[in-house]
Amino acid sequence: MANEQIPKTAPAVVFEKINGPIVYKEDHPVTQPQDLKPGEVLVKIECTGVCHTDLHAWKGDWPMPPKQPLVGGHEGAGHIVAIADGTTTTFKVGDAVGIKWLADSCLNCENCRMGAEMTCSLAQCHGYTVDGSFQRYAVSYARHCTPIPDGLPLEVAAPVLCAGVTVWKAIKEANCKPGDWLVVSGAGGGLGHLAVQYATAIGLRVVGIDTGDDKKKLLDQYGADAFIDFKNFRDEGALIKEVKRVCGGEGPHAAVIASAGGAAYNDALEYIRPHGSLVAVGLPPDTDIKANVFWTVFRNVRIIGSYVGNRQDAIEALDFALRGKVKPQIVTEPLKNLEDVYKRMESGGIPGRIVLKC
Ligand code: NAD
Ligand code: ZN
């Protein structure tokens, strides 16, 4: 089912091999409506966020390598232009949808039934196990597309589809109540700047940790209680002391670690107050969390891994944006800039999110 002419080729960014050339192509093949399998939809992507996960994928940072060649990207926002014959869905051609990291799951196993679709053994991931949103026409799965509410601009929705969903879920995992202190590490990045906003929206007191004046300036707009520039606290134990001082001496009730480097994890174990939660979100390669058993037990510390969010988390995360409670900081650029965006991301130089126009 399609009601517009679908071109045979369209722009995409592709890499053939991990760490290989990142190639912008004007003439990447487009899956035609008659070639979609039941359950699949063709989405015309208007814009896509660039997540640090996309950079990890290209660098081959993680234990399971991505599919190759790969079209990366998993914060795609656009419109359905075709629905495979034989698909049961309430979506119609023309609907605005988001395609997220979680491209598909079975919806029938214990994980899926519990709303933990991300750990379904049949889960597929956009921009990793299947092609993603760094292209004008992407194949996705009707049952996992996220409806984008009327009135929310697509470029604002895009960063919410991974960064927003992930941190909203992570904050829920932290199990804080209004007035509690939450540290967001990596607070000026794509995930972090949204975490600060979700947290303040639900009445938490927030301390952002990151580096540089641009990121401080950004976070000052969001009502964070404090910004700590980690580069100013290099002496051993200095950052831990400062975090505790800022949070009234006891340390925060929870920390969401959304930085792509490993250092932040072990500091957090020391500055969290007893009964506090460390919510692990950032995915630096080859990194262990070194928790001393005695102190973990004695201080009742909880260490929680938090991996994206489910379909309901996505709808909730977008609703904050629709109501203006969360405003992604975005700069829009053309799709062909992806390689340059990776360079800037690697050096930690992007406050908020870059959104590419497809
Ligand atoms: P980003 O590059 O936009 O932001 C990372 C931020 O961390 C930067 O602002 C950087 O300055 C800051 N930083 C680096 N070292 C730091 C330190 N020691 N202390 C405090 N801040 C530090 O990246 P992003 O897109 O926000 O992604 C962040 C991480 O989260 C990546 O590893 C990504 O793969 C991961 N991620 C995880 C999930 C999940 O489901 N758990 C989902 C999306 C992304
Ligand atoms: Zn992501």
Among 241, 266, 271, smallest CA distance to 254 is for 271
Assess whether the previous peptide bond of 11 is cis (omega < 30° from 0). no
CB neighbour list of residue 303: distance below 8 Å, 6 or more residues apart: 269, 277, 278, 280, 289, 291, 296
Say what the pLDDT of residue 299 is: 97
Residue 3: its pLDDT value, please? 66
Strands, DSSP E only, in 20-111? 22-29, 40-49, 76-83, 96-99, 102-104
Q: Which of 96, 85, 252 is nearest to 179 (CA)?
A: 252
Gap between the Cα atoms of 70 and 130, Å rounded: 8
Which residues have C-beta within 8 Å of that of residue 149, sequence separation ≥ 6?
Answer: 318, 319, 322
The model's pLDDT over 67-98, given as tens digits with 9 standing for 90+, comes to 999 999 999 999 999 999 999 999 999 999 99
Residue 97 CB burial class (10 angstroms; 0-12, 13-18, ≥19): buried
Task: Count how many Cα atoms sit within 13 Å of the Cα of residue 311 in the half-sphere of its side chain.
Answer: 17
- What is the distance between the alpha carbons of residues 349 and 343, in angstroms, rounded to a whole number? 9
Measured from the Cα of 50, ligand 1's closest atom is 25
Pocket of ligand 1 contains residue 209 by CB under 6 Å:
yes
pLDDT of 4 over the 90 cut = no
d(CA 30, CA 36): 11
The mean of the pLDDT values for the chain is: 97
The tokens for 110 are 């214990």
Neighbours of 290 (CB within 10 A): 8
Asked if pLDDT for residue 15 goes beyond 80, the answer is: yes
> 109 by DSSP, 3-state: which?
coil
Is 168 close to ligand 1, i.e. is its CB under 6 Å away?
Answer: no
% pLDDT > 90, the chain:
97
> Is 146 near ligand 1, meaning CB less than 6 Å away?
no
Q: Which atom of ligand 1 approaches the CA of 261 most closely?
A: 15
Query: How many distinct helices (H) and strands (E) make up the chain?
Result: 11, 17
C-alpha 19/C-alpha 74 separation (Å) is: 19
Phi, psi (deg, nearest 5) at residue 344: -65, -35
By alpha-carbon position, which residue is closest to atom 23 of ligand 1?
A: 52
Contacts of residue 288, Cβ cutoff 8 Å, sequence gap at least 6: none
Q: What percent of the chain has pLDDT over 70?
A: 99
Rounded distance from Cα 274 to ligand 2 centre (Å): 31
Q: What residue spans of 143-282 are helical by DSSP H?
A: 154-159, 165-174, 190-201, 213-220, 238-246, 263-271
What pLDDT score was predicted for residue 349? 87
Q: Which amino acid is at 31?
A: T
Q: Is 30 in the pocket of ligand 1 (CB under 6 A)?
A: no
Taking only the tens place, the pLDDT of each residue in 177-192 is: 999 999 999 999 999 9
**C-alpha to C-alpha distance for 9 and 37, rounded to whole angstroms:** 19
In angstroms, the CA 181 to CA 80 distance is: 41
Distance CA 163, CA 24 (A): 24
Q: Which of 101, 161, 210 is the pocket-test mutation for ligand 1 (most atoms within 8 Å of CB)?
A: 210
Say whether pLDDT at 217 is over 90. Answer: yes
- pLDDT surpasses 90 at 27: yes
Ion ligand 2: protein residues whose beta carbon lies under 5 Å: 51, 53, 162
Ligand lying nearest the CA atom of residue 193: 1
CA distance 343 to 345: 5
Ligand nearest to the CA of 162: 2
280 lines ligand 1 (CB under 6 A): no
Domains of the chain: 9-148+328-357 (3.90.180.10), 163-305 (3.40.50.720)
Is the pLDDT score of 341 beyond 70?
A: yes
Residue 260 confidence (pLDDT): 84
Q: Read off the pLDDT band of 134 (50, 70, 90).
A: very high
How far does the centroid of ligand 2 lie from the alpha carbon of residue 8, in Å?
29
